[in-house]
Amino acid sequence: MSAISVGQAVVLGAVEGVTEFLPVSSTGHLKIVEGLMGIPVDDDAVVGFSAVIQVGAIAAVLVYFFKDIVRIVTAWVRGLRDKEERYHHDYQFAWWVVCATIPIVVVGLAAKPLIKGPLASLWVVAASLIVGSGVMWAADRMGRHKRGEDDTSFKDAMLVGGSQILALLFPGFSRSGATMSTALMLDLDRVAATRLSFFLGIPALTGAGIYELQDALGAGTGALPLAVGTLVSFVVAYASIAWLLKFVAKHSFNAFVIYRIAVGLLLFGLLGTGVVHS
């Protein structure tokens, strides 16, 4: 029997799609909803399911930014053949994304027992939501928002890409929140910070989903719930991406900061009263 039903997969897919690219922690929200539905958050099948349905959200990014991705990949291929093309920003950016993904891959493999064990606790999620809110609030005010996407450098990509480790080790911190906050501290404007977060998330999240697929199926998660959850995640994530880019163009991250603190405090309350279990 599948560890997750089709109905639960629909709910979790929608939660993943809404929260994956918003700086509110998709992992944290998935664990909260899983806890409320009585699903064991540290079960191998559940952890694998959460990673696999991220592929749906990543597919939404690939579709939404298809023209940009084609432009970057084309520049990369041209640069491999033509030395002159290697000075093009898109060619360099493609390599930066690859290099910036290496730290999270290394840490993810090395710390897998911790990530799937004690760090998967909902107490960690609640604390990370609140601490991450403080980081985001500070970054939004410290940053001068004066640099656009074309002003990014290798250093920017490595620092922003490396910050994904925070979300990997502390679910609730938020991968998007960590990357966007780091980019803001580097003086990128909010739209550039958000787009950079999207592009850097593609290889990391896709790799995690593929890596966890076998474990998810082997641990008892059925193929149908996985397919349904991934499809729902794709549809909802596409709408979420479109909304977020419009939102950050005109607003600060204050709304996300307030929301994260509220959710973190609520989760502490639910855990303290025994409504959900860590």
pLDDT digits 0-9 by tens, 149-177: 889 999 999 999 999 999 889 988 888 99
The pLDDT value recorded for residue 244 is 95
Question: In b/e form, how buried is each residue of 233-266, taking b as 16+ CB within 10 angstroms?
Answer: bbebbbebbeebbebbeeeebeebbeebbebbee
The pLDDT value recorded for residue 233 is 96
Question: Which positions of the chain have pLDDT values less than 50?
Answer: 1
The pLDDT value recorded for residue 216 is 63
The pLDDT value recorded for residue 128 is 94
Q: Which residue has the tokens 């909803």?
A: 33
**Alpha carbon distance 102, 108 (integer Å):** 10
The pLDDT value recorded for residue 172 is 87
Q: Which residue has the tokens 């399911």?
A: 49
The pLDDT value recorded for residue 27 is 78
Q: What's the one-letter identity of residue 274?
A: G
pTM of the complete model = 0.86
The pLDDT value recorded for residue 1 is 42
pLDDT digits 0-9 by tens, 2-23: 578 899 999 999 999 999 899 9
The pLDDT value recorded for residue 2 is 58
The pLDDT value recorded for residue 35 is 80
The total of other beta-carbon atoms located within 10 Å of residue 147's CB is: 18
